[in-house]
A and B are shown apart, each in its own frame.
Chain A
């Protein structure tokens, strides 16, 4: 305390610096300055940028499009457990969970599929043919009574001794995320899916911000009858069954791809935000600083958007980021009814939905789209946290 009394006059330069800082930093510049200093927020921001780049430019580096099928290579996982059935020259095979036998190179490139030549379902022996080679698969182990083994199946090429141990696990070069049930690259489909799902995330946030926040704050600030009417409309929108509403839009407007979907989602998605903002503003508007502003004759919109909303920014940002995933999954549901981009294009939500049916045998088909959603969410959350701190007027310096 004592030290602070030992003032030292500022140099002219220091004084000028202070002066400049104060005058040149607008609210948004200030926000940006503080955001830059927020490490996690920067991680989030770069994450979001990376995901967008991944969605836009990723597909350029792939030989496949999202719709290219190779039914022979369907349901291959991201890592292949290959068995070497011949040496010099090497001949490796991989068996899919649906009993397709694939010829795979040493480094994990799938070369071709062996034709299933003979099926002995009773004794659990399948024979596969590739030119003059034939591979006998014996998968009776652990399936037929009285047989128990450390391994589930063995291979033998042209009658050579049975191979029961895999050579190694190699990454799937052709399909780094594996392939789906129609032999399409899951990686490419996740990249394309990002385009839809990120659009939805963006739209949902924008609608929340533009409609939800404005609607809720006006209702609360105006109060009385206006509030009552506005909020009863929210109740109405909230309680009408979404499915009926979507079908109605589909019948009236028809399916015009992404924008009808946006329309459907955007028109109902803001109600929760409106309620949340209203609650905050109801409480804030009775606080001293608002009374002061009002007493000073500050106009209504200035009070709402300069004083009330910034003070409620914490819950707003949290709710906004937290509601993104539900928007992403709502999109999948709406697509199910028939609005939105049509197959074979698929959003993350739709990919996750499709992956779910094969969960028992092909968990990776659910894992990758889910992972994409989770990573995006984490990034949005980090960014949201930083934004909250940056936007909070009470933390404003300078």
Chain B
């Protein structure tokens, strides 16, 4: 009897598994792509989103006023735009054939609604702080709850004209419009599914991009289907994208090799050197960010600039990036490659290395500086702790840096790791000697990086303060063109002379894409774009 019950139970439990369909698999009538996103996004609502996984989906389901592909700004929902002579008014002309995926018309009013919603504290969007950097009149105040969203400088002149007033002329403003936070959402959908629930519900998920959501399973995956109402639908070559949320990189990589995926967002780091050499399907892109270590400038041990310089120079950055093997660029400044200045030159190239060799070329100078500071061969230098948040990658870099200081300078330091939220807390509280930092910017201007070291900035972890630096950054904020970039160059020179932090390398992003997938692009800010991609099986 007992056995019978067990048997019956087993059948009950296994049967649904046997007969249930695979979910993600496709009937292959159209062209489809299998993509591993790597995580179940917290939200698919572009207005609420604050993470790159949600951003990657959002960039394909939604479309802002413009699109940015590999640094080039191209028309999106706006077919053209103009900036007033004083640079303070930007007018976008929404295309007449702009439509939502349910076939209804998309107008300038949709943008007004979406933007006000995004900046409204009641919406509680994590990214609403970005309004500060848009320079849109009244937007920062509204986002911080000190003003009404109705006072923000945005208005729909008519259904197809959207006008934005800025506090200062802002060079990067138009390119910023490709960012997910500024994408339109449909009011009726948003109101039907609170807190972004609408965006994960295929019945409510109305969007305006090349694809729209047709299924979503918690923790498992989602399906995107070509949006027939998209204005450039004829360019969209893929009918269905099956997205999975596998976060284990080895599993995803094994599945890719077995042909189950056409596109991967992550691969196991240890496999990267081989992939780079052997596999043309592996793509590396610069990511606009920098990996660095913060000095706690409040401590006496770091008061002597020569000590900070010595520690900065005693690191062989090329060896570190070789071990990481992911195409990372050694950082001898804070601004990464990818920003074009007023002369059309790359900011990173023009800025140079401030006398810091990217390999072991500065070690002798570092030794000399340390001796000058009173610690020949590291003798008598106080022991200190290098703090990082737990991760294989951070550990690896910290171990290399620790060993380099030991062999090159004779300085001993202890490594300590903390669970990441604890680490954030410790770092913000300034309870550290040397702590890992990382900063990735969200808009195409070096200001996004350099601004964090302004006195009192919430991300100024070293607690660095320099009046000249602050003045230059204020100037950069208020100007465009030559003045803007001159101020930024000068600011970085101060930063690299004073060294409140040790830059280590600049971030990269990488993807594994099967040769069958063609014409996919990525924005410089890191969002994937399959609007023109095609796949041949």
| List of B residues within 8 angstroms of A336 by Cβ | 390, 417
What's the least CB distance linking A392 to chain B, in Å? 33
| List of A residues within 8 angstroms of B274 by Cβ | 97-99, 361
B416 touches A255 (CB 8 A): yes
Contact A247 to B270, CB < 8 A, known contacts A71-B319, A71-B322, A338-B416: no
| List of B residues within 8 angstroms of A63 by Cβ | none
| List of B residues within 8 angstroms of A228 by Cβ | none
A71 touches B415 (CB 8 A): no
B419 within 8 A of A: yes
A-B interface pairs (CB < 8 A), number: 93
| List of A residues within 8 angstroms of B418 by Cβ | 250, 337-338
A181 within 8 A of B: yes
What's the least CB distance linking A125 to chain B, in Å? 11
B422 within 8 A of A: yes
A215 within 8 A of B: no
- Pick the contact of A181: B250, B323, B398, B416 (CB < 8 A): B323
What's the least CB distance linking A264 to chain B, in Å? 13
Contact A143 to B250, CB < 8 A, known contacts A71-B323, A344-B415: no
A111 within 8 A of B: no
Contact A71 to B400, CB < 8 A, known contacts A99-B277, A344-B415: yes
| List of A residues within 8 angstroms of B250 by Cβ | 356-357, 359-360
| B contact residues, total (Cβ < 8 Å) | 33
In chain B, what residue has the closest Cβ to A71? Answer: B319
Q: Indicate the member of A67, A68, A71, A250 with the most B CB atoms within 10 Å.
A: A71
A98 touches B273 (CB 8 A): yes
List residues of B (324-353) whose CB comes within 8 Å of A's CBs. Answer: 325
What's the least CB distance linking B271 to chain A, in Å? 6
B486 within 8 A of A: no
Residue-by-residue, is A121-165 near B (CB-CB < 8 Å gives 1, otherwise 0)? 110101000000000000100010000000000000000000000
Chain B interface, >50% SS class: helix
B27 within 8 A of A: no
A342 touches B278 (CB 8 A): no
Contact A338 to B270, CB < 8 A, known contacts A343-B395, A343-B415: no
B392 within 8 A of A: yes
List residues of A (236-267) whose CB comes within 8 Å of B's CBs. Answer: 243, 247, 250-251, 255
A247 touches B419 (CB 8 A): yes
Residue-by-residue, is A55-97 near B (CB-CB < 8 Å gives 1, otherwise 0)? 0000000000001110100100000000000000000000001
| A contact residues, total (Cβ < 8 Å) | 35
| List of A residues within 8 angstroms of B280 by Cβ | 121-122
B390 touches A338 (CB 8 A): yes
Q: How far is the CA of A181 from the CA of B402 in the complex (A)?
A: 15
| List of A residues within 8 angstroms of B400 by Cβ | 69, 71, 182
What's the least CB distance linking B338 to chain A, in Å? 22
B403 within 8 A of A: yes
B219 within 8 A of A: no
A342 touches B416 (CB 8 A): yes
What's the least CB distance linking B361 to chain A, in Å? 16
| List of B residues within 8 angstroms of A97 by Cβ | 273-274
| List of A residues within 8 angstroms of B415 by Cβ | 342-344
B270 touches A182 (CB 8 A): no
Q: How far is the CA of A361 from the CA of B276 in the complex (A)?
A: 14
What's the least CB distance linking B293 to chain A, in Å? 15
| List of A residues within 8 angstroms of B23 by Cβ | none
Q: How far is the CA of A250 from the CA of B418 in the complex (A)?
A: 9
| List of A residues within 8 angstroms of B278 by Cβ | 124, 139, 143
In chain A, what residue has the closest Cβ to B414? Answer: A342
B399 within 8 A of A: yes
What's the least CB distance linking A101 to chain B, in Å? 12
Contact A361 to B271, CB < 8 A, known contacts A143-B278, A337-B419: yes
Contact A98 to B419, CB < 8 A, known contacts A357-B269, A359-B250: no
B396 within 8 A of A: yes
In chain B, what residue has the closest Cβ to A356? Answer: B250
List residues of B (386-416) whose CB comes within 8 Å of A's CBs. Answer: 390, 392, 395-396, 398-400, 402-403, 414-416
A358 touches B419 (CB 8 A): no
Contact A250 to B392, CB < 8 A, known contacts A98-B274, A360-B271: no
B419 touches A338 (CB 8 A): yes
What's the least CB distance linking A283 to chain B, in Å? 23
Q: Indicate the member of B402, B417, B422 with the most A CB atoms within 10 Å.
A: B417
A30 within 8 A of B: no
A177 within 8 A of B: no
What's the least CB distance linking A397 to chain B, in Å? 42
A227 within 8 A of B: no
B422 touches A250 (CB 8 A): yes
Residue-by-residue, is A319-362 near B (CB-CB < 8 Å gives 1, otherwise 0)? 00000000000000000111000111000000000101111111
B323 touches A74 (CB 8 A): yes
A251 touches B422 (CB 8 A): yes
| List of B residues within 8 angstroms of A182 by Cβ | 323, 396, 399-400, 403
B268 within 8 A of A: yes
| List of B residues within 8 angstroms of A359 by Cβ | 250, 270
B399 touches A69 (CB 8 A): yes
Q: Indicate the member of A338, A358, A359 with the most B CB atoms within 10 Å.
A: A338
B268 touches A358 (CB 8 A): yes
**11 new A-B contacts at CB < 8 Å, known A336-B417, A342-B416:** A71-B323, A71-B400, A97-B273, A98-B273, A121-B277, A181-B396, A182-B403, A250-B419, A358-B268, A360-B270, A361-B274
The 8 lowest CB-CB distance pairs between A and B, nearest first, are A98-B273, A358-B270, A338-B418, A337-B419, A69-B403, A343-B415, A99-B277, A342-B415
Query: Would you list 24 pairs from A and B whose C-beta atoms are within 8 A, ordered by A residue?
Result: A67-B399, A69-B403, A71-B322, A71-B323, A98-B274, A98-B277, A98-B325, A122-B280, A126-B277, A143-B278, A181-B396, A182-B400, A250-B422, A251-B422, A255-B416, A336-B417, A337-B390, A357-B250, A357-B269, A357-B270, A357-B392, A359-B270, A360-B250, A360-B268
Interface residue ranges, B against A (CB under 8 Å): 249-250, 253, 268-271, 273-274, 276-278, 280, 319, 322-323, 325, 390, 392, 395-396, 398-400, 402-403, 414-419, 422
